[in-house]
Amino acid sequence: VALRDAGIRETGGQLFGEQLAPSHFVVNEVTVQARPGTPAHFDVDVAAAMRDAARYFDRTGHDYLRFNYLGEWHSHPRYQVLPSNKDMRTMLELVSDADFKGNFAILMIARRDVRSLRLAAWVYGRGGTVQPVALEVDE
């Protein structure tokens, strides 16, 4: 729904989810930032992101070991579902930030075509590692 509403502008938000096992997560909340991006890029509205995170933690009882922030997502309406150089830089900066509490963050990129929704995701580790994520999509 968010991708359709955003049209050709990039849209995005945050991913929150539950840890089922080491390296196995279910995304159970995808936020959509109210302020959209431009056709070529998307900037996170930090204040809105913090409000969304607080709401998610309230809803899940502040059980951070089980329910936590997983990462970011945005759409690439005009580009391939691959991180841009700027996306790479942004994510590596995020996970290396001294204030960042996790060990990793996921970046998911979405692109809606006429008939299909394409999704791809990568996990960025604190040490600067990048690995593709295997995604399973539930209808």
Residues in the site for Zn ion, rule: CB under 5 A? 84, 87
Nearest C-alpha neighbor of 123 from the set 111, 115, 135, 114: 135
Nearest C-alpha neighbor of 88 from the set 105, 75, 66: 105
**Based on CB atoms, which residue is closest to Zn ion, 19 or 84?**
84
Position of minimal CB gap to Zn ion: 87
- Please state the closest distance from residue 84 (CB atom) to Zn ion, in A: 5
Nearest C-alpha neighbor of 109 from the set 129, 127, 90: 90
**Based on CB atoms, which residue is closest to Zn ion, 10 or 67?**
10
Q: What span, in angstroms and rounded, lies between the C-alpha atoms of 90 and 55?
A: 24
- Please state the closest distance from residue 43 (CB atom) to Zn ion, in A: 11
- Please state the closest distance from residue 120 (CB atom) to Zn ion, in A: 11
Q: Could you tell me which residues come within 8 angstroms of residue 123 by beta carbon, excluding any fewer than 6 positions away? A: 71, 104, 105, 106, 130, 131, 132, 133
Q: What are phi and psi of 4, to 5 degrees?
A: -65, -45
**Based on CB atoms, which residue is closest to Zn ion, 60 or 84?**
84
- Please state the closest distance from residue 38 (CB atom) to Zn ion, in A: 11
